[in-house]
Amino acid sequence: MVLKNGVGIMEVAVTSGAGNSRKYTIPEGDYNVTNYRCTIDPQFMRYGNGFKMDIGPDPYDVDAGSVRTALRIHPARSQGTEGCIGLIGSSMEIQGFENLMSQISTTQQSIPLSVKYWDTTGQ
């Protein structure tokens, strides 16, 4: 969910890690998103939309036992990523998110990001 002054302004489906498991997910925490850029690299594209943004600082991942590097936000080419936050919504949702991030990045060098997980199984 994208918030502005604490109010949700956009929601888009995302994934992080290997499919439906928690393996290789971005660790919970607070980050900064920087360096928005368009790309035609197929590994950062979905439905013809291509962009990427860097996530930092690089977190220590307890499950992996190491510092995670090169984490980004980008359209996911599949239902999993290698720790990045991959957008898996519709073409219109991804294009809307890209347009919003492009617009915000013209006035802000850094966008705050908070990553939290919750149990969606109801257990």
Alpha-carbon separation of residue 106 from 42, 57, 69 (angstroms): 25, 21, 25
Total domain count, the chain: 1
pTM: 0.87
**Residue 19 sits in a domain of what CATH number?**
2.40.440
Of residues 80, 73, 75, 78, the one with CA closest to residue 113: 73
- 78 domain residue, yes or no: yes
State percent of the chain over pLDDT 90. 53
> Which residue has better confidence, 3 or 106?
106
pLDDT of the residue at 82: 84
Within-domain flag for 7: no
> Which residue range forms the structural domain that includes residue 53?
14-115
pLDDT for the residue 13 = 87
In a domain, 24, yes or no: yes
Q: What is the pLDDT of residues 19-73, one digit of tens each?
A: 555 567 889 999 999 999 999 999 899 999 999 999 999 999 887 788 989 999 9
